[in-house]
Structure 1
């Protein structure tokens, strides 16, 4: 009888990822509280993380660097949301420029793509998510919910910067 006592067993890796995700979400909400932008921090994580997982981009290396980098990105996002005027022109500019850059995704990384089929699938998913977020931003602008439209457009803009950094990495 073989006893598996591996630190890197699949169950442990899944548990580790879940714990890291929970810590990341709590941290983002705390940052939202500190900036008096809780709703925006939640909208940011909802609009940024799913598409980021498919689009790829800059890779900070290990879990600690990734956490610190995520923390910095979230703080930059909250400062941007707080101080960038939520005019239709600024929001449209950010979302349109970002959407064109997302067309470059996914950033192919040896850690993310084991084959061309997976890369193709991720490319389609990231583009569909981008189009969905673009449509949501346009709908929010029509409904005059500019603070949420700005949040989504900033998340797409930050994502586009991560994609560009990933391309040169």
Structure 2
């Protein structure tokens, strides 16, 4: 990207980074830009659905858990971006269409939590995990899941059911990606078996 190249050139010219570190900083800048684009896109989808708070809460619940639980990943960044748009729209539609009852909130969360607890982390060919990383990711995913379930129950106790429902559906979305990721790995004969 021209913008990233120009920023890297400027940082080198100002002596902020070394020439030999250019690739590392370009990668970091690219990832940062992708995060900003994804956040802005999610907010834009929230505006389109008139569900900005729900879209923000989805990101807050989904991203930390996704980082450690893993699941299905698209092969390219452009496919990943369009998949993220589709996922966000699907989550917001589910929040809008599924009745927001205590029973639904608890059932959805419990089914999703069992799947995540049992199967996470699910690695991908683009992000293989060795045994030690797998254990670390499993513990972190379970801790984040526990925190999110506690937040969901707290919101229910405070009678802010829409918050509980957003968290519940976000956890459900991730559990579905975990199942898809497991199936994909099984069909391809296992993921990254050389790193085990």
Q: TM-score, normalised by structure 1?
A: 0.93
- For residues 88-143 of structure 1, give each alpha carbon's deviation from its aligned partner in whole angstroms, at most 9, with x where no partner exists: 00000100001001111000234323421111100000011011111111111111
How far off is 1:149 after superposition? 0.6
Structure 2 CA distance for aligned equivalents of residues 43 and 154 of structure 1: 11
Higher CA-based Rg: 2
C-alpha root-mean-square deviation of aligned residues, in Å? Answer: 1.6
Please identify runs of 4+ aligned residues in structure 1 that moved more than 4 A: 3-6
Kept after mapping to 2: 8 A contact 1:51/1:129: yes
Kept after mapping to 1: 8 A contact 2:42/2:55: yes
Partner SS state of residue 81, structure 1: helix
* Correspondence for 1:159: 174
1:1-169 map, 5 Å: 4=20, 9-103=23-117, 104-169=119-184
Structure 2 CA distance for aligned equivalents of residues 110 and 82 of structure 1: 34
Kept after mapping to 1: 8 A contact 2:123/2:129: no
Structure 2 CA distance for aligned equivalents of residues 80 and 114 of structure 1: 32
- For residues 5-60 of structure 1, give each alpha carbon's deviation from its aligned partner in whole angstroms, at most 9, with x where no partner exists: 97xx1111111100000000000001111111111110000000111010000011
Q: Which has the higher contact order (CA 8 A, sep 6+)?
A: 1
**Equivalent residue pairs, number:** 166
Structure 1 unaligned spans of 5+:
none
Kept after mapping to 2: 8 A contact 1:113/1:119: no
How far off is 1:83 after superposition? 1.5
